[in-house]
Chain A
Amino acid sequence: MTWTCEQTELVLSDYLDGLLQPEQQHAFDLHVNSCERCTPLVASVSHAIANLRALPELETPPRLVYNILDATLGPRETITGWAAVRVWLRHLASPRFAYASASVAATFLMLVTASGSINWKKPKLADLSPVNVARNTNRQVQKAYAQSTKYVSDLRVVYEIQSRLRQDNELPTNNESTTPESTPQKEPGRTDGTNPATPRQQNRANDVNTHLQVLAEELPFLSGKLSLVLIEGRSR
């Protein structure tokens, strides 16, 4: 049987649907397998059908059915009275509504507790009046503001004390490099066997003592008087 490209086109759908007779099927296969034009044609049509059948079936738009029913049967009856209340209550029984209600109640309780409106040991209905809630909220805000102000003020005092102590600790370190060390038992500035009032007094006494020692070495004839002064300075 002689098979042509035109015949291939004519029976292509029958071939793809498996409707060809065995003889036709054989001749079709022989021709298509050796024809440069028909091989890609069969492949492309087969591919197109596969893509077409893979198209998804779309969902019906939700309003379509209602629009059709409204247009044909007329607007549906509206429920009134107790029937409407029962339908409404049925909606309230949904888990979503219960979860939302619990969330709102928890938020409300947190806000009321934070505002200090309710004394949980002796709760009163009057605590929930808007005036009392506003007053208690205002009081709580003022209290929180005062506490925070005091806290910041305390921090500033502590910081200032720390910075002054740090400055004073740095001064003797500088003097140690230029002045000789004094004996720990007889420190100048000590008058009654106790420590000097401030480190600055101690430093000043050290300086005076050092200068007197140098002067005594340079002027030996005055060493007697100076030694007395030195002794007095140390005893002071």
Chain B
Amino acid sequence: MEQEAQLVQQCLQGDGSAWEELVRQHSRRVFNICYRFTGNRTEAEDLAQDVFLRIYKTLGSYRSAYGGFATWMTSVTRNLLIDHYRRTKRDRITDSLDDAMPVVENKASSARRPDEQALLGELSSQVQSALTRLSPELREAVILRDLQQLDYSEIQTVLAVPEGTVKSRINRGRIELARILQQMGVRPS
């Protein structure tokens, strides 16, 4: 954590190599959060780039007391993903959030490359599809908890909601995910 704070200080002093180091250290995690949230590789790549652009511009507002650079970056990523979701929601035809998400997933699935499908495998593809059908509030909570392995306090910081709300969203998200997977025919053996 001290090393990251030092790198941030160097970045603020105009050290390009320090910024490059930060980008290389965190780009994979940011890209994966974006991909799991959108289910689309190209969209995730564009969003990850936007995240780092925003971080670069707002680096001066980072404080180490905030909870670590990774947590702060995750928070920025989450805010940008929600902004993106709301922005694209206006473009959708359907009114209902739950009805709109499968449309997004269908588009994402059709846009996915064949090698990507092979990489993920059928089960992984189904789980990713079920994940993108969750509401954004439940989806982000489940991603942060079960994919990014953040603890409750970190998720509370990222989402800026009380711990009870975090627990409730994670719990509801998991139950809803299991229900969707069962509908898709993915059941425990």
Contacts and interface: CB of A to CB of B under 8 A. Distances in A.
A45 B49 contact: no
B82 interface: no
A44 to B, nearest CB: 4
Contacts of A56: 119-120, 124
B127 A13 contact: no
Q: Is the interface of A mostly helix, strand, loop or mixed?
A: helix
B188 to A, nearest CB: 4
Given A13-B170, A13-B174, A55 B19 contact: no
Interface string A1-26: 00000000111111010000000000
Contact of B28 (A10, A43, A46, A60): A60
A14 B167 contact: yes
A13 B32 contact: no
Given A45-B178, A47-B178, A68-B49, A52 B127 contact: yes
Interface residues of A, number: 34
A55 B124 contact: yes
Given A9-B175, A69-B23, A48 B181 contact: yes
Interface in A44-101: 44-49, 51-61, 64-65, 67-69, 71-73
A41 interface: yes
B146 A72 contact: no
Interface in A27-55: 41, 43-49, 51-55
B89 interface: no
Contact of B177 (A41, A52, A64, A72): A52
26 contacts: A9-B175, A10-B171, A12-B171, A12-B175, A16-B174, A41-B175, A44-B179, A44-B188, A46-B188, A48-B174, A51-B123, A52-B147, A53-B146, A54-B124, A55-B128, A58-B31, A59-B28, A60-B27, A61-B45, A65-B20, A68-B27, A68-B52, A72-B23, A73-B16, A73-B19, A73-B20
Interface of B: 16, 19-20, 23-24, 27-28, 31-32, 35-36, 41, 45, 48-49, 52-53, 56, 119-120, 123-124, 127-128, 130-131, 142, 146-147, 167, 170-171, 174-175, 177-179, 181-182, 186-188
